[in-house]
Amino acid sequence: MAFKWNSDWNTGVENIDAEHNKLFSMFEIFGDACSEGLGASVVASILDDVLEYTIFHFDGEEKQLAQRNYAFLVQHQEIHQDLKDRVAAYRKSVFECDHDRDALESLGMSVGGFLQDWLIQHIMEKDIPAFKG
Ligand SMILES: [Fe+2]
């Protein structure tokens, strides 16, 4: 994938930054798995891990924001929910690419890249102002 983790993306909250870093790597692992010729069920199980970790991270982040009396928590939760819904939808797309290696590879490139872009944009525009603001 195109870029590596950059310290500009740190919120300054240790566990949040570690989790963001792990999510970023997991998105890359998913993208790479799509181009390795693995079957859709293997790729889908990687995406299940991505979704599970995303939910774990968002839940924890929302709790920490609530503890800080963050004013835009509801809006932030809605943004998180939207990404969870998207990841669940991508799981269906993976199975539509079964037995079509090229289609799965291009799905992995677009979705893996999209998820990394989404995370960085979300951190910069929402998480950093929320935790540092
Ligand atoms: Fe967030």
CATH of residue 95's domain is: 1.20.120.50
Q: How far is the CA of 65 from the centre of ligand 1 (A)?
A: 9
- Give domain status of residue 5, yes or no: no
Q: How far is the CA of 126 from the centre of ligand 1 (A)?
A: 6
For residue 13, pLDDT over 60 is answered with: yes
Tens of pLDDT, residue by residue over 81-123, are 999 999 999 999 999 998 899 999 999 999 999 999 999 999 9
Q: How far is the CA of 106 from the centre of ligand 1 (A)?
A: 27
Our count of domains for the chain comes to: 1
Range of the domain at 60: 11-132
Q: How far is the CA of 69 from the centre of ligand 1 (A)?
A: 15
* Nearest of 104, 75, 79, 76 to residue 90 by alpha carbon: 104
Q: How far is the CA of 124 from the centre of ligand 1 (A)?
A: 10
- For the chain, the straight-line distance linking the first and the last C-alpha, in angstroms and rounded, comes to 31
- Mind giving me the DSSP string for 28-42? HHHHHHHTTT--HHH
- Give domain status of residue 6, yes or no: no
> What is the average pLDDT across 20-36?
94
pLDDT value of position 37: 85
